Structure 1
Amino acid sequence: MNLKAKDIAYVGLQLTLFLSFLLDISLLSFRLPVWIDYLLLPLILIGGGVVLLALLQLKTNLSIFPSPLRGSNLITHGLFKYVRHPIYSGILLSAFALALYLGSGYKLLIAFLLLILFYFKSSYEEKLLLQKFPEYKEYMKRSGRFLPGI
């Protein structure tokens, strides 16, 4: 893999947002009805499950950087059949659900910033994947970026 400054910047920003999410800042706190908590808890777990399953499906193709690894293969089965970036999807689902569950406007803001970051990081990653895998263009038509069909 030939790392570029963009690769390092995206991963650095991602790490910064992950660490920021962990901070316990009670800025913009709110409380949702208790019954909503029962809906949010499974979403947090589902998001974590999606991340774990996608990591297992990537196997040796996994990298924290957007640039594809040398000798990597295009994965289009399992979760990747429906969504091109299921790890980002799972992280976002868990982050938004956890922020709502905790009633943290601060964490909700960080989750929204992660969504923006993942949009731009995935756009950059897809540009590189199109260069490496000519069939990626057709794959993009059959799968959603973060959600199936979208």
Structure 2
Amino acid sequence: MKRALASALVSAQFLLLLALALLPHGTLWPVHLAVVFGAIVLAVAGAVFAVLGMLGLGPALTASPIPREHAPLVTTGVYGLVRSPIYTGLMICGLGLVLLGASVWHLVAWLALVLLLAGKARWEERMLVAEHPDYAAYGARAGRFLPGMGRLKP
């Protein structure tokens, strides 16, 4: 059951990202050069942050929110800033796609992605607390998606 839920969450996350890339463009705001530039900056920055998160995990990296058994707890690099840099990067990248898309459907898909990743992060963190005795202290000092925001209560 746990693995099925993990697979469903990962699939939903990729479907929402795909929707952000493929939804028809809207007219909520004009998409001029400054908007395109901002969207590219956000998409690239988000992708870089997500990749840094993936590289930082090393042997603990898994596509599933279920932590690998006996994998080390990573608290350095981008993980020293936020606990979920891969999710943060996906949200930032998605926001860039929203800017380009300029539609209500892009906003809805992005909000659904944010809510999905927030729920996924909370579930993942409960498992990490059970797996790593030091996770609670780490969570009390590092924000969930943004530095200083969403820290765990000590």
Partner Cα separation in structure 2 for residue 56 and residue 68 of structure 1 = 16
Q: Which amino acid letter does the alignment assign opposite residue 93 of structure 1?
A: I
Aligned partner of 1:53 in structure 2 is 52
Q: Tell me how many residue pairs correspond in the alignment.
A: 149
1:7 alignment partner in structure 2: 6
Percent identical: 30
**8 Å contact 1:100–1:108 — kept in the other structure?**
no
SS of match in other structure, 2:129: helix
Q: State the 4+ residue runs in structure 1 displaced beyond 4 angstroms.
A: none
Is the Cα–Cα contact under 8 Å of residues 28 and 106 in structure 1 kept in the other structure?
Answer: no
Q: Give the SS at the match of 2:130.
A: helix
Q: Where does structure 2 lack aligned partners over 5 or more consecutive residues?
A: 150-154
TM-score of the two chains, using structure 1 as the length reference? 0.88
* Distance in 2 separating the partners of 1:43 and 1:17: 17
Letter in 2 for 1:25: P
CA distance in 2, matches of 1:119, 1:86: 12
Match of 1:97 in 2: 96
After superposition, the C-alpha distances for 1:52-102 in whole angstroms (9 at most, x for unaligned) are 111111112111111111221100000000100000101100111221133
Specify the SS of the correspondent of 1:16: helix
Counterpart of 1:121?
Answer: 120
- TM-score w.r.t. structure 2 length? 0.86
Alignment check: 8 A CA contact 2:20 2:97 kept: no
1:108 CA drift (Å):
2.4
1:85 maps to 84
Aligned-partner residue type, residue 103 of structure 1: A
Q: Secondary structure at the match of 1:4?
A: helix
Q: Is the 8 A contact 1:30 1:103 kept in 2?
A: yes
